[in-house]
Amino acid sequence: MPKKVIPKKMPAKRTSNKIPQLLRGFKDILPVDQQYWRLVRQAGQDFADGYSFGKISLPILEESNLFVRSIGKDTDIVQKEMFTYNDVSEGSVTLRPEFTASVARAYINHGMFNLPQPVKFYYFGPLFRRDKPQAGRYRQFYQLGYEVIGDTGAIIDAQLIVLAYNLLNQLGLKNFTIQINSIGTPESRKEYKKELVSYYKSKRKMLCENCKKRLLKNPLRLLDCKEASCQPFKGEAPQIVDWLDDESKAHFMKVLEYLDGLDIPYILNPYLVRGLDYYTKTVFEIWPAEKEDGAQGALGGGGRYDGLIETLGGRPTPAAGFSLGVERLIIQLKEQEVKLTNHQAPKIFLAQIGDQAKIKAMKLFEQLRADGIIAAENFTKDGLKNQLEIANNLGVRYVLILGQKEVVDGTILLRDMESGVQEVFDFNKTLQEIKKKLSAN
């Protein structure tokens, strides 16, 4: 007899007539914020171009197995944060919680080991983690990131850190620190993990509930626990640098040498381990200076993952990369009051009075737009006072005014909102005159 399938209890359907609301941890990005997004996206792309990274766009939905195998089944992400469901035809699928695994999959699927190595990727897009929502921690968030696949050199790790440092500076961010550590190879880590577990076992009773679980499942994460009760034990804990194999140690020294040579400031953090299984050797994180002890404040992080491609069934291929959280960068840009220049802001306002003027103004608007001049307008309004008020609120310097008289005369008025002075021009010379004014400012 085939087993009777008992459907899992489904959550109550949202059938009420209340206004639909955002899901917890999801956000709308409104027009007022888009200039920050544009800035970050543009800087990300400019740096990709400047350092010769090719843009890769990846699907949002992937086989769940991709993430379980790469991130690791005992990690927080896989254990409790993935948005996973059973698709009728594809089986278990997951909204991507990170990019690196997908980049590695794409590298293997498209046989990119046949390309000149290393292959350098840039990405920008949304990720999904069922995290506890709070400031700077969402269930849908965006990352931009850079991955270099196909080279073991310490210079790759260093150059990724240089890129991150320069990118944050270019955005205008100050007061951030780069923390760096090496976690060696899986082999050298085995011995270290034993030491770490035996040290923490003696403190078991005093550990937070999460750390009690970590002791069994993910001991490295004991080191970056943020609970106050677990802090006193860190100081005496064995440090991973003392357990590194010679090759990892030499690699790490080289990374630091390159960073010193390029005057990139960094902090050695022996407790930095990152949360995912695939990391090897170099790991690093970027923190806003005032939040070094904060639980959720890292702006970004990354490191080397020499075993990942092989874990996923590709040939052994070394790799390294990092990503930055876009929302957290924007929070910092706002907190640090970084000034933005909005090149898309309208420079002039086009006002009109009367039906005849409306048609002429609409035509002029199209001409201005085709010429790359952004004009604001509100063609639904009729009164001049009203329109000048709108122009004033927008902070535009010049207002073009077309009234009935101007239509009859074939002229147009140009009002300087700063001085209040108005000039009359031949309508056919509008473009010429407005360009002269704008270039003079």
Contacts with ligand AMP by CB under 6 A lie at: 98, 129, 131, 136-138, 141, 143, 298-301, 323, 325, 327-328
Residue 194 CB contacts under 8 Å (≥ 6 apart), including other chains = none
Least spacing, CB of residue 272 vs ligand AMP, in Å: 11
**Which lies closer to ligand AMP via its Cβ, residue 47 or residue 138?**
138
Question: Shortest gap between Cβ of 262 and ligand AMP (angstroms)?
Answer: 23
CB of 240 to ligand AMP, least distance (A): 18
CB of 298 to ligand AMP, least distance (A): 4
Cα four-point dihedral sign 75, 76, 80, 82: negative
The minimum distance between CB 165 and ligand AMP, in angstroms, equals: 15
CB of 281 to ligand AMP, least distance (A): 17
Nearer to ligand AMP, 301 or 314 (CB): 301
Q: Which residue of this chain has its Cβ atom nearest to ligand AMP in the complex? A: 325
Of 169 and 393, CB closest to ligand AMP: 169
Nearer to ligand AMP by Cβ, of 189 and 291: the residue is 291
Q: Which is nearer to ligand AMP, 143 or 352 (CB)?
A: 143
Nearer to ligand AMP, 243 or 284 (CB): 284
